[in-house]
Amino acid sequence: MPFNPDQYLAKKGGFNPDAYLGGSATPKSSTPEQGNMFTQSAEDIQYDPVSGVPLNTSSYGSAPTGGTEYARKALTTAAALPINVATGVAKNVGGLAQTFNRYLGGESSKGNLSIPEEGLNALNQIEAGTQQQSGSPNLLKGASMVGQAAPWFATGGAIGAIPSYVNAAKNIGTGVAMGGASALATPEEVGMTPEQFREAKNKNIAIQGAIGGAFPAAGEIGSKIASLLRGTKQTPQMTTAIENARDIGYTMPPTQAGGGIVSRALEGLAGKASTAQAASIKNQEITNKLATKSLGLPEDTVLSPEVIKNVRDVAGKAYDKISNTGEIITTDAYSKALDKIIEPFMQTAKAFPDAEISPVVKQIAGLRSKSFDAGAAVEKIKQLRTAADDAYRTGSTEIGKANKDAAKALEDAVEKHLEAIYSPGLLKEFKDARQLIAKTYTVENAMNKTTGTVDAKKLADRLQRGKPMSEELKQIAQFGQAFPKAIQTPERIGGSIGISPLDYTVAGVTGGASLLGGEDKATSGALGLATLLARPGARRIALSNPVQNRLAQQATSPSAVRQALPSPQEARQLAKMLLMQRLGGTTENR
């Protein structure tokens, strides 16, 4: 194809005589090149109309793109965040100065703007420039708002701490006052006439004052909703009880352990009473295992009076080894222990001298001696223990307690004797046997002798009275004190919790309603079956290990997100400040 100069020139933008003669080589109708400072003349560089920042220029070449541009904007945003927070804080000073100058009668000015407005204008330009170059301008705008609200948030923290019992009017009045003060420090648009400025400031004061007064009531409602979602706030003691219960394997109804809304909703669907009963049945197995473990028996042992007696007999062999250790010399401690046993009976005798003295006084008097044989002491201890059991069995609690305390006084004397003759091996065996025998009585008194079920409530009552208990029995008692509704014995409940008549009734009604509504039999049957299994299923999930472990985690270790978040009081205060300034402030100075 032959060379066509006209087509060549057309592709190049046409022939420009001025460029040929030394003028501009760029066609008059072409768009200015968006290159770097070396390829653009000063008049061709385009500037942002707000910030005045050059667009798409670089002293090193054309504007960066892709990952380079993303990195540049990210770095710019990170560097600009503290700047925007600082300008937001500074706007409070500028806003107060602007209000004093234009609203309260000040007249200082510079050119067409007041001196405070000159400063506000400079702050606005700094923010606009950083936000224009950032990849997240809204984030920087938010940083400026937080900075502007920060002083008011700090001073308003004490307001949130006013006790709830203080008159509500005081809270509202304080909120209105703080809102008005915030409005005075909120800058208005620069360059307004005095009438426009006063109108804008009055509107701002009205808006922020109304918001400040409305927040106490809204905050109270929000607190109630938050409390509903969070559940009951646990005391440190209850938190420890929940954690210990899960370590042992106990199960707790979510409402009693301060569970979240999901677990409590499951319990509500399943029924609080039936959930507590189902938990009690699961917990009974744990209680029985702990009781048998305290006696040194395998966990799967079924307790009975015969099993308890056998444990005592085995432990009693340690007593027999003491019989040949010689004479026991009694001490003042032994005599005082006997005095303490008969003290209440002697007081009664003094008050009623003509009344018959209790046989306990004579029985205890027979134990007074400066010394006695170790073998005789062991036999007497056995006799006193048997007499105590018989007395308790027949309802003679005073005689039973006196015999039990007398046996203990003799056992203390035996321990002193073994210490005196330097027999550490026998002493340890004797102490271990004493403790084991004492545990057998504690377990037997809390046990249903027919079924072998150990009643955690009885152990909890014993702990409440300050009685000494071994580790495993104390764990049972502490759980019983913390969760009394979760330790009902199966005998009291009357069997396991499954599908109740209520479940059948609701399922039947649901299936029937579905049929009447036009659904086919298969669909209606499926709906009825789902309804029938809904409550038992919800109960099973509420008491499952994942949900139960979550209860302990919520009580002891709040999530990292929850720890990082401000408190509800702080969040409400900050939200109030931001909302007041957002609605009350003008567009330019937000």
Asked if 334 and 364 count as a contact pair (C-beta separation under 8 A), the reply is no
Asked if 452 and 304 count as a contact pair (C-beta separation under 8 A), the reply is yes
Task: Output the CA torsion sign for 50, 55, 58, 59.
Answer: negative
pLDDT at 21: 45
Q: Residues 342-348: contacts with CB within 8 Å, 24+ apart?
A: 342/402
pLDDT for 104 beyond 90: no
List b or e across 28-37, with b for residues whose CB sees 16 or more CB atoms inside 10 angstroms.
Answer: eeeeeeebbe
Half-sphere exposure of 280 (CA within 13 A, CB side): 27
pLDDT at 136: 76
State the DSSP string of 11-28.
HTT---HHHHTTS--S-T
pLDDT tens digits, 461-512: 999 998 888 899 999 999 999 999 999 998 888 765 667 677 777 777 777 7
Residue 246: count other Cβ atoms within 10 Å of its Cβ. Answer: 21
What rounded mean pLDDT belongs to the chain? 75
The whole-angstrom separation of Cα 341 and Cα 362 is 12
Element (H, E) at 1: none
Place of tokens 């540049």: 72
Give the SS3 label for residue 214. Answer: helix
Of 459, 490, 426, 83, the closest CA to residue 291 belongs to: 459
Residue 406: count other Cβ atoms within 10 Å of its Cβ. Answer: 26
Give the SS3 label for residue 365. Answer: helix
pLDDT tens digits, 50-97: 555 555 544 444 555 566 777 777 777 777 777 878 887 787 777 777
The whole-angstrom separation of Cα 184 and Cα 437 is 79
Report residue 51 as tokens: 């910030």
pLDDT tens digits, 36-53: 444 445 555 566 665 555
The whole-angstrom separation of Cα 83 and Cα 418 is 81
The whole-angstrom separation of Cα 303 and Cα 450 is 9
Mean pLDDT in residue range 137-159: 66
Give the SS3 label for residue 366. Answer: coil
**Which amino acid is residue 225, in one-letter code?**
I
Place of tokens 């039973």: 400
Kindly list the distances between the CA atom of residue 244 and the CA atoms of 147, 237, 461, 557, in Å, as whole numbers in the listed order. 45, 11, 19, 14
The whole-angstrom separation of Cα 88 and Cα 418 is 81
Residue 432: count other Cβ atoms within 10 Å of its Cβ. Answer: 13
Element (H, E) at 483: none
Report residue 24 as tokens: 């501009």
Torsion over CA of 310, 314, 316 and 317, rounded to 10 degrees?
Answer: 150
Kindly list the distances between the CA atom of residue 514 and the CA atoms of 92, 509, 526, in Å, as whole numbers in the listed order. 64, 9, 10
| Percentage of the residues of the chain whose pLDDT score is greater than 90 | 22
The whole-angstrom separation of Cα 391 and Cα 403 is 9
The whole-angstrom separation of Cα 338 and Cα 341 is 5
pLDDT band for position 573 (cuts 50, 70, 90)? low
pLDDT band for position 371 (cuts 50, 70, 90)? very high
pLDDT at 311: 94
pLDDT band for position 518 (cuts 50, 70, 90)? confident
Residues 6+ apart with CB under 8 A from 133: 53, 73, 76, 80
* All structural domains of the chain with their residue ranges: 67-230, 236-272+496-571, 288-493
Query: pTM of the predicted model, to two decimals?
Result: 0.54
